[in-house]
Amino acid sequence: MTPALTPVLVGAVSMASFVAGLLFLRYWRRSHDRLFLYFCIAFFVDAALRVGQALFTIADEAEALVYLPRLATFALIAWAIFDKNRRADGS
């Protein structure tokens, strides 16, 4: 992949994450189900991280720290699924 194409692709991924966040926000407003709210937050955070990745250069020694917020978004999604299944059991 050419270096000039990288910001375009990162922008496309961030836009897709933002649109997914908007869809989950709409689903949450209709149903008030926490699963959709958690997914909405996770996708908005992911979109913000991708925009930051496109705008700022990261030093090599701090590159591993970029993955911590992504880990937090995936953990939020995992928690949302766990919470939904726990509530479905009647607790």
Mean pLDDT of the chain: 87
Q: Out of 10-14, 45-49, 54-58, which region has the weakest mean confidence (pLDDT)?
A: 54-58
Q: Out of 8-12, 26-30, 85-89, which region has the weakest mean confidence (pLDDT)?
A: 85-89
Q: Does residue 61 have a pLDDT over 70?
A: no
The gap from C-alpha 26 to its chain's centroid, in whole angstroms, comes to 16
Q: Give per-residue pLDDT as tens, 23-55.
A: 999 999 999 999 999 999 999 999 998 888 878
Q: State how far the alpha carbon of 78 is from the alpha carbons of 37, 38, 72, 74, 83, in Å.
A: 13, 10, 10, 6, 9
Mean per-residue pLDDT, 79-87: 91
